[in-house]
A and B are shown apart, each in its own frame.
Chain A
């Protein structure tokens, strides 16, 4: 399996960043970058990364299944992550979550029919000061209300 030249360069740099024999330290960033490019961590990606680092596929799957931000199935173009941890919960995170499910018509770790959006209920994303917060791919949106959420989704839809 081959990746884009940019990703190949990233991988090469990552694998050189650690002392010899400690290449497995590069596993999580490699999985993240590969997921961003491929869309999800497919069995081929697992095999390729395991071979490049020199660990077993099982060891890759151990890490992969541990971290919730790594997916084995493709997510939507916009991956909406709604925090319902304590600060967001107290300031209305649950309502945002309900609104998101209604608005997008899909549930936890599900993708909309058009493949544009996917939804995930996540634990703390470190934006408690501006709770309730959501994360769309790598971007944060603070002090979200159901109205602001609707507007955000609509604006994202319009981008197409």
Chain B
């Protein structure tokens, strides 16, 4: 008989302890994120989809030095360079990237390209929604990677051609 009472008491104690945790957590702020209804939050250092940065004049920082692609362990960066002219000035240096592709079916988000970049042109953004049913769409072009130009520099900025997804 005594053991039955003991059983009931210990069960009640366990229940109370469990519910105590529940009640405590109910009062404290939530950690779980409400993705996809609410945008997720990232640490600053998170290595997501790359962003090609612009300088203070709105020109592209990338001078097509190819160091990112040389440093890339999965060989996923493809660049074609061209020379800036007085009539068409794209980057701050003499050279700019006419074509800059990152193949996200190969990229392992290691960040070596960012480390190699001498002009801080390529950085990791926080974009991550790149899953696709079609691998051919995983090759992102410069227009998709480029940071948006601020409105007053629209003259030098390249506007994404129609049909291209806007940068993440």
A–B touch (CB < 8 A): the answer is: no
Measured CB to CB, the residues of B under 8 A from A are none
Measured CB to CB, the residues of A under 8 A from B are none
